[in-house]
Structures are given as C-alpha cells and as structure tokens.
Amino acid sequence: MRLLSILAITASFAGPVALSAEEPSPVLDRFRAQISLASVGDPRISPDGRLIAYAVTTADWEENRFDQEIWLAGEGEPFPLTHTPGGSSTGHRWAPDGSGLGFLADRGDDTQIYRIRPRGGEAERLTSHDGGIRSFRFSPDGRRIAFAATDPAPDDFEERLEQFGDYAVEDADFRMTHLWVVEVDDGAEPRRLTEGDGFTVGTFAWSPDGREIAFDHTPTPQVNSSRDADISVVEVATGSVRPLAAHPGRQRGPVWSPDGGRILFSTSGTASPYYGNSELATIPAGGGDARILTAAFDENPSPVAWNEDGVFFLASQRTARPLFRMDPESGEVTRALDTPEMIGAVDIGPNGGAMALSGSDRTTVAEIFRRPRGAAAPERVTDMTAQVADWGDLGGREVIRWESEDGAEIEGVLMTPPGYDPGARHPLMVVIHGGPTGTSRPQLVGGYVYPVLEWLQKGALVLMPNYRGSAGYGAEFRALNVRNLGVGDAWDVLSGVESLVEQGVVDPDRVAAMGWSQGGYISAFLTTTSDRFRAISVGAGISNWMTYYVNTDIHAFTLEYLKATPWDDPGIYARTSPMTTIRQARTPTLIQHGEFDARVPTPNAYELYQGLQDVGVETRLIIYKGFGHGITKPRERLAAMLHNWEWFGRHLWGEKAEPTTN
C-alpha cells in the first residue's frame, strides 16, 4: 500500500553540478527526494489492540520545515488523523478506554492538549494553559490529565527588560518545569501539583490507582543537571511531594509495577552517565532500598513497560536492537523479539496485550508493525519502503570487523555499490557517527547531510565504523576512548581503511572521511594527524578541547572523558586536540557548522578554519544561519548535502564545477 505520494527518481549519476536557484538538476532532485522521504515512529497501540496511532514526518519545502502528524492504522488503509497548519501534532496518547487520542499541537495559542476520535473529525482542545504544555499523561481512569508545563517569566521580568534591556546571567535566570492536573470533561481550571525553584520536572507516570504520580527531576533545566536527576512522588489529592530515589548519579524514567507496589527506574549509579552502563532498578513505592536488576546485562537498557509478563526493555546488541523481557524477581533476561533487526520503539497494550513497534532491516526503511499477543512474529501494517521502490538498486549492506592498532576488535557497516565487484578497487567514503555513544547500523537509506546513495551509484564503497566508545558493544568498549579521545578513535578508523585497502577493494588514492558532532571531531583529528585521505568534511566538530570545555553547554562531558580540567592537566587537552597538530595538516577540509550551536560552539569551527589557512591547507567554512547543533530544515539540509557532494566530487572524482553557493 502507498501511504503518501512518492517522488520517483532515477539512480543514474548526473556528473558535475553548478546551479542557480532556478536551474533544475537531476542530482538536486535526488537529494530532495531523500530529504523528502516520509518517516514513521512513536507507535501507540489502542487499549483493545485493534488500532495503532503513529507519527509520520514529512518535509514541507514551501514552509521550509519538517512536519509531524499522527496517522492511524488498523482497519483498512492507514490515514492521517491530524493536521496542524504551520505546526506539528506530537506526543500522542490513547485515552484508557480507547475512545479518543490525546496529542499536543500549537494551533495559535501555544502548545495545548487536544483530543480526537479514532474515526477522525475535528480535534477538541482540552487545555488553554498560559505558556503552553510540554508533555501529558491520562490518568488510569481517563478522567484526569497530568501535564508538565514550564513556568512563565517572573513578574518583574518585563520591568527589568524595560529598565535595563535584555541580558542573561549564565547559570541563572532559570524557568522551571512543573506538574499540573486537570479534569478532562468538567471545564475546571488546572491545579498545580509541584512548584518552586528547587527542581524542574522531566518524565512522569501515574500510579495504577491514580492517587500518585512518580516523576524524575533535576536541580536546573541545564543539560549538565541531568547527571543529578532524582525521582520523587507527588500525591495528587494534596500536592504533597516525597523524595523516593535520590541516589548518587542519574535516576530517570519511573515505571510503576502492575500492582503499584514498586517503581522501576533507570540509574547510572556511580558509573559515568556518558559512557558507563545504566542499570534498571526497582524501589518500593512507599520508600526503601533500591535493588539493581540488570547488573549482569552489559549494555544500556531502555525500559518500555512493566506488566504481568515482566519488564520489557530495548537495548543495542552490536548493530541490532532487539526487545528484551526481564523477570523482575530473579533479574533473568531473555530476548522477547528480534524482528525487525533494528527496533526503534515499542508500545505494549494493557495487561501485556498486543504490541505496536517501529523498526527496519537492511532492505527496508522504518515501518510500523503489530504483534498480536502470542504471535511468533510481528505483522507489518505500513509500506513506507514503497517510497524507494522506483529508485533502482541501492547496493548492499554488510557488517564487517577488523583489528585496531591496539588489538581492539572494531566493527562497522560497509555499504557496497550496485553490481559490486570485489575484484576491483573503489573509492571509499568513510562516514563517522556522532555520540561518541552512537551506533552505525546497516540501514537502507540514511546519511543525514552526506549523499551516500549517490556515492554508491558512482561506484564508491561507504564505510561507517563503530569506533571505540560506540554503543552496543558493552561498557568496557565504550570506555576505551576515555583519556584517549581522537587518538584511539583515529586508530579504529584508519585500521578499517587499511583493512579494506589490503583486501584490494579500495583505491588507496581515493579515500575520504566525514562526520558530524563527535564524527566531526574525529574527522578534524584525522585531517591534522593523517595523510591517508584525499579530502575531509568536518561537521560541527571539536577542534580544541579547551575551547570546547569553556564554551559548551555540557562541560561535564569533557571532564568525564578527559578526567581533568585544562588547568589541571593541559597535556591531555593538547594530546587530544586537532589544533595541537595543525602544522601537520595536509588534507583539503570542508567545515560545516550551525550558527548558534551550543553543544559544539562555533569558535571550534573558526579556530580550525584559521589554522588550516595559516598552514596553507585548502579549506572552506560554511556557517548555516539560525541553526544549532543540527541542520533541522529541508532547504539548508539540501544545501549541506550539496556542499559535501561538490567538495568530494572535486577532490575524489576531479569534477571542476564551481561551488553552488557562488
């Protein structure tokens, strides 16, 4: 079945590109088609197990934004349930009796909660909360809704603005998020449950009897505060708050047991919240000692549900992502579902009923599935892969392994071109994921701002290494780049390249590397320490750890990995910074960065750019105006993809086209 209109495109290579905004181009059409692929996620199964509500994200080129709306599958063809002009519909949740679906949308009065019937029709607005709403949950009986909302600016803010102008005090001027509750159908005003400047609310969950709400909270809304998250419980009738889990580390995501006697949560304990294993633990709902359940499970479990059948969670296992079931008494863990290969999200109906999930394998894009209770395998209910049916042969996907310089086993995804000839030498494009605790998976379509499908059509191989620090390989592997960032990561990338060169499948004179965020940092490190690459692209990458440490919004990240401040151990900051070896740089380097990137601020881009110019290396810096750490609008993503296409086309394939932006 076809869910959306599909743009059919050819797979032939169009050659060099030099365009004005008005000129048509086959390669631009193909890039637009990739960016325009509709994607699905966030499946929610109805209480009776018949219907699945899920999110569909599409590109709106006219408005230059990505739109998310809610679709419904289960009876006949899937169809769009919501439409929010100029905005999106998100956060959908079924009412407990299945009579309606709640969701969040901004339809001219901040983000509010709406309800729509499964058969469609006009959505009904349920709230008019000043400043909007961040998230919500129906009570177990469906009569009330708890929601989280950020406090408005203080009363004296306008007076301060008028008298002194606009300024912000770093690590101050916080606006906290708190819990409210509202009766669904009686028109009453919402009632505040939590308040004050002592904490800000994150995720929350109703108790099975509807009398209490467990929630996690941090001291401030800053990203750094996430390391100190705790869990408390608020009594709905009185607003009385009592601490529950206030242990060292981060406690997040409370989930009630079916009988309401215990609460499951994720905890980092004394391990690093960045590269250590998180654990699942339970604690008596009335207070007491917590018990770790997953100490023997060597990965990060992401809890899904707790019902009579046990605790269900997702976790990466190398490049796969199966669903697990755990006995909450013994801690025994078994695989509950490993189809499709890469499960994105799971929702389980009441009392362990039917299951809805999203996921993909090596031959499909993400699809929505239903698994009836007791069924051996899930059944697909969407056909999003039909969007690429006319794209021709998209090449192969395989997982390969090699040994790094220090003997560590490294795995990666190798994408091979259509008609791949292992007896010939091919150009190699190395695409390095971010994180560092991300994972490259054998997906059919992907690449973000890197046109991997077009490179495959040109006969190139694409290698996506899961370097040390990647998720899916256990806590010990994720810690291998502690005080070894860049250095060990470069070993892993370079050893993968050399392995393919030695096998005779890669042209050693046509190898390129690129990546965004941590992948951008590794690319910057490679450009100043290696002459293996013909060209490199650095996306939102760190160039100097001291510059990064004092500018980023997650200072603790640097301290966790380098184990020192720059004033306590300047040596480790120098050893892991690309700028230290800038005089060795020889590789032409494209630098891409968002103008307002708080995670990796732009001084990192300017420092690398100036350093490369000073040592006579060809470089180009492109700042994408108005963006943070990611390129989140279609037109600028198209531009970033085209900039990479032109850069590598010129340096690896000798194409002489002038840059499009000229």
User: Order of strands, edge to edge, in the sheet holding 52-60?
Assistant: 39-45, 52-60, 65-73, 79-80
Q: Which pLDDT score is estimated for 661? A: 43
What's the pLDDT tens digit per position in 306-363? 999 999 999 999 999 999 999 999 999 999 999 999 999 999 999 888 999 999 999 9
DSSP symbols for 111-163: EEEEEE-TT----EE----TT--SEEEE-TTSSEEEEEEEPPPPTTHHHHHHH
Q: What is the mean pLDDT of residues 412-427?
A: 97
Specify the range with the lowest mean pLDDT, choosing from 1-10, 368-377, 559-568. Answer: 1-10
Q: Which pLDDT score is estimated for 24? A: 54
Neighbouring CB atoms inside 10 A of 555's CB total 16
Residue 450 lies in a domain: yes
pLDDT at 13 over 50: no
Neighbouring CB atoms inside 10 A of 331's CB total 16
Neighbouring CB atoms inside 10 A of 308's CB total 9
Residue 445 lies in a domain: yes
Residue 169 lies in a domain: yes
- Does residue 372 have a cis bond before it (omega within 30 degrees)? no
Q: What is the mean pLDDT of residues 300-308?
A: 97
Most confident of 23-37, 547-561, 645-659: 547-561
Q: What is the mean pLDDT of residues 452-460?
A: 97
Q: Which pLDDT score is estimated for 174? A: 87
Q: What is the mean pLDDT of residues 85-94?
A: 96
Q: Exposed, middle or buried: residue 171 (CB in 10 Å: 0-12, 13-18, 19+)? A: exposed
Contacts from 321-326 at CB under 8 Å and sequence distance 24+? 321/359, 321/441, 321/472, 323/357, 324/297, 326/280, 326/293, 326/294
Q: Which pLDDT score is estimated for 2? A: 32
Do 399 and 261 belong together in one domain?
no
Q: What is the mean pLDDT of residues 592-612?
A: 98
pLDDT at 17 over 70: no
State the number of CA atoms in the 13 A half-sphere of 98 facing the CB. 11
Phi, psi of 462 (to 5 degrees): -125, 120
Q: What's the mean per-residue pLDDT of the chain? A: 93
Residue 109 lies in a domain: no
Q: Which pLDDT score is estimated for 527? A: 98
Domain region containing 627: 393-652
Residue 621 lies in a domain: yes
Quote the tokens at residue 66.
């990505």
Do 424 and 561 belong together in one domain?
yes
Q: What is the mean pLDDT of residues 395-419?
A: 98
Do 264 and 403 belong together in one domain?
no
Q: What is the CATH number of the domain that holds 169?
A: 2.120.10.30
**Rounded to whole angstroms, how far apart are CA atoms 211 and 559?**
41
DSSP symbols for 483-546: T-TTHHHHHHHHHHHHHHHHTT-EEEEEEEEEEETHHHHHHHHHHHH----SEEEEES--S-HH
Q: What is the mean pLDDT of residues 15-41?
A: 76
**Rounded to whole angstroms, how far apart are CA atoms 264 and 280?**
7
Given 268, 285, 304, the domain boundary residue is 268
Given 246, 268, 290, the domain boundary residue is 268
Q: Which pLDDT score is estimated for 335? A: 97
Do 404 and 260 belong together in one domain?
no
Q: Can you name the residues that pair with 40 across neighbouring β-strands?
A: 56
Q: What is the mean pLDDT of residues 402-429?
A: 97
pLDDT at 14 over 60: no
What's the pLDDT tens digit per position in 465-483? 999 999 999 999 999 999 9
Quote the tokens at residue 213.
């709400």
What's the structural domain count of the chain?
2
Q: What is the CATH number of the domain that holds 414?
A: 3.40.50.1820
What's the pLDDT tens digit per position in 41-61? 999 999 999 999 999 999 999
Q: Which pLDDT score is estimated for 154? A: 81
Do 256 and 400 belong together in one domain?
no
Residue 523 lies in a domain: yes
Residue 208 lies in a domain: yes
Given 239, 268, 297, the domain boundary residue is 268
User: Order of strands, edge to edge, in the sheet holding 241-245?
Assistant: 200-206, 212-218, 230-235, 241-245
pTM recorded for the entire structure: 0.94
Do 262 and 399 belong together in one domain?
no
Q: Which pLDDT score is estimated for 657? A: 57
Q: Which pLDDT score is estimated for 4? A: 33
Residue 590 lies in a domain: yes
Do 263 and 400 belong together in one domain?
no
Q: Which pLDDT score is estimated for 6? A: 26
